[in-house]
Amino acid sequence: MATTKRPMRADAQRNRDAILTAARETFQVEGVLTSLDGIALRAGVGNATLYRNFPTRDDLLAAVMQTSIADALTEADELARTLGPREALAEWLKHLTWQLRIWHDLPYCLAAAHHDDASPMKPAADPLPARTGVLLAAAKASGDATADITADEVYELVLALSWAVDRFQDDEPAARRRVAMGTAGIFA
């Protein structure tokens, strides 16, 4: 990490943060396939600054996702703590589907990263399928989920449903309904 070698120059840190917030805002409006130069413009920095900090789109995406994913994981903890295995899994799937929808083409990128170990997004995104596996295992143990399905299959199903939720512009109730229908096969 660069931060361990030297405490990073103040303006450099400022610019990096500005890029991250601009990217987060732009992604929500235009999707994750938006122009990178546009993000730099919005952040008020030169485009070269953006490319130096984040050589590829996936690097930027991974950095922006960090905090969102951390939030999602605490939500998962909360669900696991307050609900039974079946409801916790069901709620988590709905929650995850709804969150992934926010950056419109995110499922597309996550799908690409999921089977590409070299992707810069892999380390950032990996906790999502992992945590899904934990909740799934608990539901299996209590007999609430069928044994013959893997965590990857469930995660991929969520990505597909999230794609649909975005593409058909569901509101939240519609999305919950769509997820309930699509994931019914998971539950025993």
Residue 31, interface with DNA (CB under 7 A)? no
* 155 neighbors 129 (Cβ within 8 angstroms): yes
* 124 neighbors 60 (Cβ within 8 angstroms): no
> What's the rounded Cα separation, in Å, for the pair 162 and 74?
20
Q: From the list DNA, its own copies, none, which binds 37 (C-beta under 5 to 8 Å, kind-based)?
A: DNA
> What's the rounded Cα separation, in Å, for the pair 81 and 126?
22
Site for its own copies in 120-149 (CB under 8 A): 149
Q: From the list DNA, its own copies, none, which binds 45 (C-beta under 5 to 8 Å, kind-based)?
A: DNA
Residue 151, interface with its own copies (CB under 8 A)? no
Long-range contacts of 81-87 (CB under 8 A, 24+ apart): 84/142, 84/144, 85/135, 85/138, 85/139, 85/141, 85/142, 85/144, 85/145, 86/139, 86/142, 86/144, 86/145, 86/187
Q: Which stretch binds its own copies (CB under 8 A): 34-42, 64-72, 83-91, 166-174?
A: 166-174
Residue 48, interface with DNA (CB under 7 A)? yes
Q: Which residues bind DNA (CB under 7 A)?
A: 6, 8-12, 15-16, 34-38, 44-49, 51-53, 56-57
Residues that bind its own copies (CB under 8 A): 108, 111-112, 114-115, 149, 153, 156-157, 159-161, 163-164, 167-169, 178, 180-186
